[in-house]
Amino acid sequence: MAKALIVYCSRTGETQQIADLIGEGIRFGGHEADVRSTKDIKSESDLAGYEAYVFGSPTYHGEMLQAMKTFLFLAEKADLEGKVGGAFGAFGWSGEANDRIFETMKHILKMDMVGDCLRLKSSNLGGGQQMAQDYGREISKKMGA
């Protein structure tokens, strides 16, 4: 059974809720998922031992939170090239953080990304819970049997 690490930062708890739902979807797909805050990741060794990585941040004023920016610099040292990846986040108006995380994972970390990032205003609106779980299933499928 392969393992995925979902790392998020959150101000209101919404991005954490989405992270938990993505984790459920990965588990529904038959794999393990650890959900952790950026605060819990202290060094690149904390990223070792996973086959997939999913990173998420809300968008505030067109940007991801500073904690995610700092985390992505740390992830750059962890040699994640070729690993399965996904990106997500909550947003109110624009949602740029999701795209920036996705593009960083794809082009700088050189990860094997799922089709696109997950964009949700809230997991409680318009089928958001199902969409987050389905995103987890998509990552699980890309991880293989």
The string of DSSP letters for 9-41 reads: --SSSHHHHHHHHHHHHHHHTT-EEEEEEGGG-
Q: What pTM was estimated for this model as a whole?
A: 0.93
pLDDT of residue 122: 67
Nearest to 114 by CA among 140, 83, 139: 139
- Whether pLDDT at 125 is above 80: no
Give CA separation, 66 vs 56, 112, 138, 145, in Å.
Answer: 12, 24, 28, 35
pLDDT of residue 11: 84
Task: Give the total residue count for the chain.
Answer: 145
User: Which stretches does DSSP call E strand in 46-127?
Assistant: 52-56, 59-60, 63-64, 84-90, 112-113, 118-120
